[in-house]
Structure 1
Amino acid sequence: MMPPLTTVPVLALELSVPIACDPGRDCFVQNYVDIDPGKTVLTVDCGQASYDSHKGTDFRVLNTKVEKDVLAAAPGRVKALRQDMPDRLVRTKEDRAAVRDKECGNGLVIIHGDGWETQYCHMRQGTLSVSVGDEVERGQPLGKVGFSGLAAFPHVHLSVRKDGKTVDPFLGTAEKSAERVAACAATETATLPGGSLWDGEASGLLQDAGGALVETGFAGKPVKSLDLETDSKVPPASNAPALVFFARLINLKKGDRVALELVGPEGTIAVSDGKPLESNKAQWVTFAGRKTPQGGWPKGTYSGEAVLWRDGNALMRRSTRFELDN
């Protein structure tokens, strides 16, 4: 039988970000808790940056080659863990079937006292650095971000529970979910209530719910989402099949438009105004470019700019460049 926790039981848990990264720069919140008990997807911001019955907050990194520490979001004791499942991105029905009843993949559960517990999922195989019964401190590394279990992208999924009930950390109690659903039904811009469990300003972690431009770059041929998730794109080169500038975004809304411009040392190479999206998109990859001309691309500076347009306004933009010297 385990000895009692030495941490003081708390009436309200205080959480820090469960990943060693700079949110909004090299990690992003892909999915939030679905607070609607029915088939409708609804998140705390009255949006839909989630999927049906999702019970946690997903902090994603750019690709499967990125290794970031998963951190304890609060002090407590390790209750259970698993770390023997392989890392692989789920792409098919067969992939989903292979992880049935083990959708969390590699991860652990930490108890914090007074009925609170947190669960960490999809960690990298063989990287967990704690054992059942260990007491951990806030911010202590627990292992690495991975893509085990039911994971279509590399991330750590953080679930929060109080007395066995799922708690959205942006709301603070399970009971507030029903209140929030009613508030969102009354108005699409309901004021966010107080009571967040995050130890910093919660609004910063909610920004990605409204869309985020997570990556821009260059490649030597058209790119697909899987190329970027696995960091396996063809690099740009003077004699590559083509030169493209790409942008990857998350949590886009119906009607959004992504404009791209690619410029080389001799002027504009490609421009795309982008078509308005016909539906919401959890992830979206777009690119603009041209086939390589005879003789290859000239040496010099190449730049690209991506702009996310929403309701006639430039919501966000990012520029990047590279030097072609081969």
Structure 2
Amino acid sequence: MTWSFFASLTLQAAAPPPTLDLPVACRLPERCVIQKLVDHAPGPERQDARCGMLTTDGHKGTDIRLRRYSDMAGPPVPVLAAAAGRVARVRDGVADADVRQTGPEAVGERQAGNAVVIEHPGGWETQYSHLRQGSVLVRPGQVVEAGAPVGAVGMSGLAEFPHLHFELRRAGGQAIDPFTGTAADERVACGAPGRPLWRDAAGSRQWVRPNEIVAVGFADRADAVEAARRATLPLPLAPDPAALVGWADVAGLIDGTVERLELIGPEGRPVVTRERRLERGSLSWFSFAGRPRPAGGWPAGEYRLRYLLNLNGDTRTAEAAVRIGGPTTP
């Protein structure tokens, strides 16, 4: 496609939206998870297109996150152009960091962090935000095809976890929900299929799941749980830790879900069991339970964490294992 042809298309203000490819080289929901959707509730309320709470007030895009903070230490996850177009603007050089640790003042006006904006025929544009520092691969004016790498998933700007914030806008800057084809400030009927703009329209309906268990893991004391969750490298446990704590990170918790967390010892016996009904849903739910080291130390062997969410028979489970134990030193 020559640029002169592209330019002529941009003059068609009534052109339909582009058909979108998934903007990350990452399988959903196996390796990556959709953490936030577009907010369709006017005013201070929040509501995603499924009448759920998987959004924040005024959120205008789709957040696709890596499951663990430690995934940032692995090979970069490419961010891809969702449709053919011309690169309008780029920014790189913003450090990857958790804004809850650095504070929003460290971000300033660079809330999108490292980012790329691509113009598409008919006055449409897409934006790719919070990219990994040093990962931007394109320059302004460059013509890209759908699927072309533009950067990598990161945690720059106003970011609390490693993710891509993907946004689709029409001429004038109005945000459009790619899952429904409707404006961000337009109410939609609960559960209505809408007209997804994704190329894999049928498959996209499986990308977003309620009660998605993002990650599970271990810590060796209660006040280290949050550090273990946010670590960019897995935190090792002491050989005979002062405590054994299992934790779980959940996206899109639904009202009335039954949660069960079990720690199981080397002989298959429960070390910790907690079950409860969670009456209030949450965009992001974090849970943990554990027990202190028993007298004489932990019996040596493999300890398993089993985490389960059950909503009216629809069950999600995740497991993890760690080897610890042995007698304490006098």
* TM-score of the two chains, using structure 1 as the length reference: 0.85
Query: Which string of whole-angstrom CA distances, capped at 9 and with x for unpartnered residues, describes residues 223-282 of structure 1?
Result: 434531334564234322222222211111333332111112233243333443353322
1: distance between equivalents of 2:23 and 2:7?
Answer: 19
Q: Which range is displaced more, 36-45 or 295-304? A: 295-304
The separation in 2 between residues aligned to 1:322 and 1:86, in whole angstroms, is 32
Q: Which runs of 5+ in 1 are unaligned?
A: 185-189
Secondary structure of 2:255's counterpart equals coil
Shift of 1:16: 1.6
Determine whether 1:316 maps to 2:316: yes
The worse-fitting range, judged by mean Cα deviation, of 104-113 and 250-259 is 250-259
Partner of 1:282: 283
* Deviation of 1:303 (Å): 2.0
Distance 1:126 1:5 in 2: 32
Match of 1:170 among 156, 179, 185: 179
Unaligned runs of 5+ in 2: 10-14
Q: Is the Cα contact below 8 Å between 1:238 and 1:296 reproduced in 2?
A: no
Measured in 2, the distance between the counterparts of 1:213 and 1:241 equals: 27
Aligned residues: 312
Residue range with higher mean Cα deviation, 29-38 or 287-296: 287-296
Partner of 2:12: none
C-alpha change, 1:21 and 1:8, in structure 2 (3 Å) is farther
The one-letter code matched in structure 1 to 2:272 is V
The reply on whether 1:112 has 2:112 as its aligned counterpart is no
Partner in structure 1 of residue 228 of structure 2: 227
Among 131, 135, 144, the residue aligned to 1:127: 135
Q: State the AA in 2 paired with 1:102.
A: R
Percent of pairs identical after alignment?
36
Partner of 2:207: 205
Deviations 1:136-165 (CA, angstroms, capped at 9, x unpaired): 222222112111111111111000011121
C-alpha deviation, 1:32, in angstroms: 0.4
Q: Offset of 1:43 from its aligned partner?
A: 0.9
Query: Partner letter of residue 42 of structure 1?
Result: Q
Residue 55 of structure 1 is matched in structure 2 by 60
For 2:16 and 2:135, the matched residues in 1 are separated by: 32
**Where does residue 266 of structure 1 map in the other structure?**
267
Whether contact under 8 Å (1:270, 1:288) holds in the other structure is no
Cα RMSD between the aligned structures? 2.6
What SS does the aligned partner of 1:91 have?
helix
Query: Structure 2 vs 1, CA of residues 110 and 138 (structure 1 numbering), >3 Å: closer, same or farther?
Result: same
- Partners of 2:45 and 2:126 lie apart in 1 by 25
CA distance in 1, matches of 2:250, 2:118: 32
Question: Following TM superposition, by how much is the alpha carbon of 1:284 offset from its aligned partner in structure 2, in angstroms?
Answer: 2.1
Rounded to whole Å, the distance in 2 between the matches of 1:78 and 1:226 is 38
Q: Matches of 2:5 and 2:139 in 1, distance apart?
A: 15
TM-score normalised per structure 2: 0.85
Query: Residue 132 and residue 5 in structure 1: after superposition, are their counterparts in 2 closer, same or farther (change >3 A)?
Result: farther
Q: 1:1-326 to 2 correspondence within 5 Å?
A: 3-4=3-4, 6=6, 9=9, 11-61=16-66, 62-63=68-69, 64-66=72-74, 67-91=76-100, 95-163=103-171, 164-174=173-183, 178=186, 180=188, 183-184=189-190, 190-193=191-194, 195-200=195-200, 201-207=203-209, 210-222=210-222, 223-231=224-232, 234-277=235-278, 279-311=280-312, 313=313, 315-324=315-324
- After TM superposition, give the deviation of residue 28 of structure 1 in Å: 0.4
- Looking at structure 1, the residues matched to 4 and 62 of structure 2 have their Cα atoms a distance apart, in angstroms, of 29
Return the offset for 1:287.
2.4
Q: Deviations over 1:65-84 (max 9, x none)?
A: 35311111112111001112
Amino acid at match of 1:218: F
